[in-house]
Amino acid sequence: MTKSNEFSQLDAPLEVSTSPALRFEVFARCSTTKARASKMHLPHYTAHTPMFMPVGTMGSIKGITTKQLEALDCHVILGNTYHLGSRPGPELLEKAGGLHKFMAWNRSLLTDSGGFQMVSLLRLANITEEGVEFENPHDGKKMMLTPEMSIGLQNAIGADIMMQLDDVVSSLTVGPRVEEAMQRSVRWLDRSIKAHKRPTEQNLFPIVQGGLDERLRTISAQELVKRDSPGYAIGGLSGGEAKGSFWRMVSLSTDILPTNKPRYCMGVGYAEDLVVCSALGVDMYDCVFPTRTARFGNALVRTGSLSLRQGKYKDDFTPIDKDCDCSTCTNYTRAYLHNSVAKETTGCHLVTIHNIAFQMRLMCDIRRAIICNRFPAFIRDFMKTRFGTTAPFWIVDSLKSVNVDLTVPDETGYSVTPIEDDFQKEPNW
């Protein structure tokens, strides 16, 4: 893939924020939506936003080398603090000089706090003001993860961006537990800031919480802004909640968070979500979906995805996507991939390359559309290809909130009819 250079014709940024280990420059704003295109200067690389970050749980993406990731023009990849803290462990990473050197990655890294894994993957014993007590899956012993421990692990890992440990609750949780978790997360943020030993080399992002409660989300975002962090994350979503609630919480958060700081919506990776959330003012995303679905033989395209295991592809000698210049689409056919994804890992690795390339190209197209001030037209073209003449209500409503009304015909006569489904697998013509 060609390295993105969409900012080459722009001179001075419109807005800037400078922190010891991060400089964020907003170069273009959409005149209709809340979207913006920016450069985020980090210790190891200058990332272009809006951007998608592939997830490398253990410091690697299955079947993909760091050189291949560079060739795909990935600017930042995400590592998992819990898993990296267990293996290879902080002592070895410190001896290696940090995760960048250990995995031979010269660009930027972001690490999560490990808190989500405590809740979602492990048998929880207890959450207290001290931290998260859990059962170690390797030996069954009770362990405690505190904000200080999480930051210590992330300081050893050496990522450009670290996340605070937050009190994670399901997005479907209601009642007093949601407010308790939100308020505790703010207190844990203050402990994380105090424990951070490398503020001139690593950035600590706090996480907006509050479930689906507008009042709690507002309080959380306002409290975090008081800390004047290098950037901010929007967490506690993409957990099975209705998409109508999801987008409203994202938009509420971006309305409060500073306009001159990066905004990171955690756990978002579906193509339509990336387009919508960029219109709502988000700059950064991560999700396991593109790489995980590739391991099941599913290739991402603008109309949705192709299940290459299906028999209809056994004698299809076209590439996954004729407009994609990744090494998979340049060299392999759907027929070859159909034959290999079901029988060996090579096919899954090739689809992984394509899916990452798809995400990178989509984000580059979004940035270019914002810079050229044609993002609303891009949104319409994307939705027309992705959905056809019907689209989920939540997409129509979210875009209408930022002045893009898909129900009103454009100059070509294209418009959509809203439907109740949160997800629509194939375009409906």
| Catalytic positions, written as ranges | 112, 286
In whole angstroms, what is the distance from residue 20 CA to residue 353 CA? 34
Specify which residues 263 forms β-bridges with.
232
CB contact at 8 A, 238 and 282: no
Q: 176 - beta bridge partners?
A: none
Closest CA to 213 of 260, 254, 176, 259: 176
- Cβ proximity of 209 and 181 under 8 Å: yes
What does R_g of the chain's alpha carbons equal in angstroms?
Answer: 21
H or E, element range at 39: strand 36-41
- What are 47's strand-pairing partners? 40
**Angle made by CA atoms 269, 258, 250, in degrees to the nearest 5:** 35
Tell me, what DSSP letter sits at residue 37? E
Residues 6+ apart with CB under 8 A from 342: 297, 309
180 contacts 247 by C-beta, under 8 angstroms: no
